[in-house]
Amino acid sequence: MIRAHAVADVREAEAALMAELPPGTLMQRAAAGLAAVCAQVLKGGLPERGGGTYGARVVLLVGAGDNGGDALWAGARLARRGARVDAILTRHDRAHPEGLAALRAAGGSVVSDPASPLGPEARRALSRADIVIDGILGIGGQAGLRADAAELAEVAAAEAGLVVAVDLPSGVDPDTGEAPGAHVHADITVTFGTHKIALLVDPAAEAAGHVEFVDIGLEPYLPEPVVEALEPGDVTMMLPYPDRQADKYRRGVLGVLAGSERYPGAAVLAAGGAIHGGAGMVRYAGPGAVADGVLAHWPEIVTGPGVEAVGRVQAWAVGSGLGDGRGADVAAALAAGVPVLADADALAYLPSRLDVPALLTPHAGELARMLGVERADVEARRWHHAREAASRWNATILLKGSTTLVVTPDGEARVNPTGSPALATAGSGDVLAGFAGALLATGLSPLDAGSVAAYIHGMAGQAAASRAGAPSASMVLDALPTVVAAMCS
Ligand SMILES: NC(=O)C1=CN([C@@H]2O[C@H](COP(=O)(O)OP(=O)(O)OC[C@H]3O[C@@H](n4cnc5c(N)ncnc54)[C@H](OP(=O)(O)O)[C@@H]3O)[C@@H](O)[C@H]2O)[C@@H](O)CC1
Ligand SMILES: [K+]
């Protein structure tokens, strides 16, 4: 599991660990890890220079705190390995003194002038840089860079090579994943001790680029994480395996209430997702012509005209492509007293609070409608709004998007690390709903069902995109069994 903590937790753990270590040890661990990642990047890339640290041009953006100190110490290490290292200081009077002395002793120079960080020499250095190390601001400041730092970030993005952020892309809000003002857009972020929430939750996570973790020994002092992301081993552990005694009922029966005469394909896709999700049996509830289409694709499914007619199930997946005027059907599924996944059109027919274990799967527009806010506001404050809805409906919310977020009414949160822009295609959500519903039927909690389904659905999206640049939902569906088999082997 990738674990992310709040700044207050990091500070407490840091204080406890520092009390046992000689001064400066943690910064040295951080700087060594940061320099190692930069050296690795230089070794692997930049073919026009032949690769390697020797002769590489590195520019440090140095703020007034320890984030800048990390950058200076890492710069000193790279300078000792032959890089040309230039530092741009936002505050000449307050740059980390020992780090600055170390950089100078290693042959690095300061190219900003005290009156303005971005003089001609600094601009020239940025325009030639192979790597820019962003140490303007880490966990110690206010989100939204101040004007001079914002200009630095902008010029670095426009002019320089690869941007490597120290601990966080400067200017994002570490504890929420929000990015309300100017901030750095990094290609790589090297983070220390634990992931910060902003490295998992969008929109800040997107500004972080690829994240590299450096262990500085904080782990034993950290509390439970605030946000998590599954790793492959976690998914393998959580996926249900049929045991020897399993019959179809014990493996879990899922009822699917999806599709309509207007959207018959949604029924086929949701039912297909359900079949690949490991339920022992899938019962489909819907009008005759739609049910016939489902049977034509999936003859193993049992169909019936409505919720009561299909009989007992261990969970319901309702809503995908259901269309308008289906409130009574949704209410009947909710009244069955079993866990429910509610997607798409069903989200409009929810009671004010759910009294069964529930997984709601809106995209940002649907969540905005549920909460009566603007879609842009949901996109800007995804975690905030997902938590708000989880608490209001007493349900786990799976908020789809570039990084899908799953939040329980108790405040547990997971972010999905897999996926592909290819998943933003019609019908892809229907597949996810069926798949996650099947996991609910096999007995997984809404949090586990939602996060495992998002993970596998994301991998199926990646697999489908590797075969066809813009795959259809059917291709994502087709890729599911192979991904599941690979996760189980
Ligand atoms: N925790 C750990 O275990 C370890 C932590 N380590 C490192 O320490 C980092 C935290 O260091 P930190 O506490 O010194 O704060 P930091 O992020 O450098 O920023 C403070 C400076 O930013 C400035 N500033 C503020 N807001 C701003 C804005 N909007 N726009 C522009 N500037 C703004 C503010 O300036 P001021 O307002 O004072 O003028 C202040 O001086 C952490 O992220 C990690 O890299 C590692 O070395 C080892 C282990
Ligand atoms: K930074």
Q: What is the pLDDT of residues 5-64, one digit of tens each?
A: 999 999 999 999 999 999 999 999 999 999 999 999 998 865 555 679 999 999 999 999
Same domain, 247 and 294: yes
Distance (angstroms) between ligand 1 centre and the Cα of 137 equals 5
Q: Is 137 in the pocket of ligand 1 (CB under 6 A)?
A: yes
> Is residue 70 a known part of a binding site?
yes
Classify the C-alpha dihedral 151-152-156-159 as positive or negative.
positive
Is residue 258 scored above 90 in pLDDT? yes
Please give the residue range of the domain that contains residue 361: 232-488
Distance (angstroms) between ligand 1 centre and the Cα of 101 equals 19
Same domain, 240 and 129: no
ipTM: 0.98
Which residue, by CA, sits nearest to atom 28 of ligand 1? 145
Query: Given the CA of residue 13, which atom of ligand 1 is nearest to it?
Result: 3
> Is residue 68 a known part of a binding site?
yes
Please give the average per-residue pLDDT across 94-115, as a whole number.
97
Q: Minimum-distance ligand to the CA of 65? A: 1
Is residue 133 scored above 60 in pLDDT? yes
Residue-level pLDDT at 50: 63
Task: List the single range of 179-188, 287-296, 419-428 with lowest mean pLDDT.
Answer: 419-428
Q: Which residues surround ligand 2, an ion (CB under 5 A)?
A: 67, 134, 138, 165-166, 170
Residue-level pLDDT at 248: 67
Instruction: Choose the residue to mutate in 17, 67, 92, 195 for probing ligand 1, maximizing ligand atoms within 8 Å of C-beta.
Output: 67
> Is residue 167 a known part of a binding site?
yes
Distance (angstroms) between ligand 2 centre and the Cα of 171 equals 8
Residue-level pLDDT at 214: 98
Domain count, the chain: 2
Same domain, 8 and 120: yes
Q: Is 149 in the pocket of ligand 1 (CB under 6 A)?
A: yes
Express as a percent the part of the chain with pLDDT over 70.
Answer: 97
Question: Higher model confidence: residue 244 or residue 427?
Answer: 427
Q: Which residues contact 180 (CB under 8 A, 6 or more apart)?
A: 143, 144, 173, 380
The average confidence (pLDDT) of the chain is: 95
Same domain, 215 and 340: no
Is residue 283 exposed (0-12), middle (13-18) or buried (19+ Cβ within 10 Å)? buried
Same domain, 190 and 287: no
Question: Higher model confidence: residue 375 or residue 157?
Answer: 375
pLDDT category at 243 given cuts 50, 70, 90 is: low
Q: Which of 228, 259, 293 is the last residue of a domain?
A: 228
Same domain, 147 and 271: no
Distance (angstroms) between ligand 2 centre and the Cα of 168 equals 5
- Give the CATH number of the domain where residue 134 resides: 3.40.50.10260
Residue-level pLDDT at 49: 59
Is residue 249 scored above 70 in pLDDT? no
**Phi-psi map region of 252: left, alpha, beta (phi>0 left; psi -120 to 50 alpha):** left
Same domain, 170 and 284: no
Is residue 440 scored above 70 in pLDDT? yes
- Give the CATH number of the domain where residue 470 resides: 3.40.1190.20
Question: What is the value of pTM for the model shown?
Answer: 0.94
Q: Is 357 in the pocket of ligand 1 (CB under 6 A)?
A: no
Same domain, 246 and 129: no
Same domain, 59 and 193: yes
Same domain, 220 and 238: no
Residue-level pLDDT at 373: 98
Q: Is 30 in the pocket of ligand 1 (CB under 6 A)?
A: yes
Please give the average per-residue pLDDT across 68-74, as a whole number.
98
> Is residue 55 a known part of a binding site?
no
Q: Which of 175, 201, 228 is the last residue of a domain?
A: 228
Is residue 338 scored above 70 in pLDDT? yes
Q: Which of 209, 228, 247 is the last residue of a domain?
A: 228
What six digits make up the tokens of 261? 């005469």
d(CA 260, CA 362): 19
Same domain, 301 and 154: no
Instruction: Choose the residue to mutate in 139, 194, 221 for probing ligand 1, maximizing ligand atoms within 8 Å of C-beta.
Output: 139
Residue-level pLDDT at 51: 76
Q: Is 64 in the pocket of ligand 1 (CB under 6 A)?
A: yes
What are the two backbone dihedrals, phi and then psi, of residue 353, each rounded to the nearest 5 degrees? -140, 140
Distance (angstroms) between ligand 1 centre and the Cα of 99 equals 14
pLDDT category at 244 given cuts 50, 70, 90 is: low
Residue-level pLDDT at 366: 98
Instruction: Choose the residue to mutate in 66, 164, 189, 216 for probing ligand 1, maximizing ligand atoms within 8 Å of C-beta.
Output: 66
Q: Is 65 in the pocket of ligand 1 (CB under 6 A)?
A: yes
Please give the average per-residue pLDDT across 316-337, as a whole number.
96
Q: Is 9 in the pocket of ligand 1 (CB under 6 A)?
A: no
Residue-level pLDDT at 402: 85
Q: Which residues contact 273 (CB under 8 A, 6 or more apart)?
A: 430, 431, 432, 433, 434, 435, 436, 437, 438, 477, 480
Q: Is 152 in the pocket of ligand 1 (CB under 6 A)?
A: no
> Is residue 400 a known part of a binding site?
yes
Q: Is 150 in the pocket of ligand 1 (CB under 6 A)?
A: no
Which residue, by CA, sits nearest to atom 26 of ligand 1? 141
Same domain, 166 and 288: no
